[in-house]
Amino acid sequence: MAQDILIIEEVDVRREDDAEDTRVFTINKMGLPALKRKTSEHTPGGGIGTVNYALPMIDALEPTFAVKGVDLDVLRKYGFTSGTNDKWIFAASLRNKKTNVLLPVRATIQGIICEWSPGEHTPGELLDCDHTMQEVKYYKLVVNNERIFEWDFYGRKWFNGDTDVFAEYRATLGA
């Protein structure tokens, strides 16, 4: 069966602990983090080529978002807020073009905004400000109330849907 065409139509970014902290009127772009497995290159001395072995790890997650204008909330709480990582909700409306049904998308991300990059100001135009989050230690992506992906650095958990990718590793270590 052919895959449905799914189009993101609206986005928002807000702090998880403050439902009123919406950027729905200022957000310009939202970038969920790329999921990339860590690999290790191996070229055997007697081999005929190189293999990049996929490891049971992912590379650092770096979500981004951009707003029109200056986001004073982000600047006031730049980096650490009360010495802890913030949890953010990246929300979107995803339209199934075949059925015309609108689906909710929610990504919960715990990390620190480590980069604030204001664009050049041009009179008569709104300033673009880019934000990059790093030190991400938790990421959960849910589409239409279905867990698609969940990763917890300190919990040593990694789920693809309902599959607990790291269960056997925790078990072998007795954790």
In a domain, 89, yes or no: yes
* Residue 86 lies inside a defined structural domain of this protein: yes
DSSP 112-145: EEEEEEE----TTSPPEEEEEEEEEEEEEEEETT
| Domain assignment of residue 48, yes or no | no
Residue 53 lies in a domain: no
38 located within any domain: no
Provide the domain count of the chain.
1
Q: Where are the beta strands (DSSP E) in the chain?
A: 6-15, 27-31, 37-42, 51-58, 64-68, 86-96, 101-118, 128-143, 146-152, 157-160, 163-164
pTM over 0.75: yes
24 assigned to some structural domain: yes
Any domain includes 50: no
Residue 119 lies in a domain: yes
pLDDT tens track for 78-127: 765 554 568 999 999 999 999 999 999 999 999 988 888 988 888 888 88
Distances in whole angstroms, Cα of residue 11 to Cα of each of 22, 93, 121, 163: 10, 7, 24, 28
Domain range spanning residue 107?
Answer: 6-33+60-172
Question: Residue 108's domain is classified under what CATH number?
Answer: 2.30.110
